[in-house]
Every structure is written in structure tokens, then in C-alpha cells.
Amino acid sequence: MFYTQMTSYNQAACAATCDSTPYCKGFSIYYERDPTLNPGPACKDPSAMTQIRCAFYTQAVSSNFAVNAGEWRSDFAVVVSGANGYSKNN
């Protein structure tokens, strides 16, 4: 459905957003290694920063969702790690 940026790794805050969002059936919270600048010909491998995100889904979270390995942007590797998924009981 969408994702939000977090200031801390806070499952309760992600759960509250999911609970208040129609059709949200689950979410995952994770760390993402992102570039501080957009990589390009003049800056192929910029410094890195860590983002904490919650991604929200219209279906229950399962191991089938655990396929995001990140991506390459020029010579910069975007990496996803520390992911935990949660599904609503109802």
C-alpha cells in the first residue's frame, strides 16, 4: 500500500498506523541503507545513511514477502536488513 519513514525502530508505532489504515492486514519494519546523494556519473558511490521504514500491506505478511534484497544505483548498493513482518489477527 505505502511505506513511512520512522525516527526509531518502533513496531508499536507501525502497528498503530496499520490499525488506523483501512484494508491494512500487515506491515514490515526494516532498515534500509540509502545514499545521501543521488548516485550518477559525477558521484557513483556517495556516502550512506540508514533509513527506518514501515511498509504496509493489504494482505497478511508471510515469508513470500521476504524477497527485497535492495538494488544498485550506479555503484551504490541499497540494502534492506533487520526486517520483521507482522500480520493482524483479524
Name the percent of the chain lying above pLDDT 90. 69
Can you give the pTM of this predicted structure? 0.85
Q: Which residue has the higher pLDDT, 65 or 27?
A: 27
Q: What share of the chain is helix, strand, coil (3-state, %, to 5)?
A: 15, 45, 40
Instruction: Identify the bridge partners of residue 79 per DSSP, sorted by sequence position.
Output: 33
pLDDT at 57 over 90: yes
Query: What is the pLDDT at residue 89?
Result: 79
pLDDT tens, position by position, 23-44 = 999 999 999 999 999 998 999 9
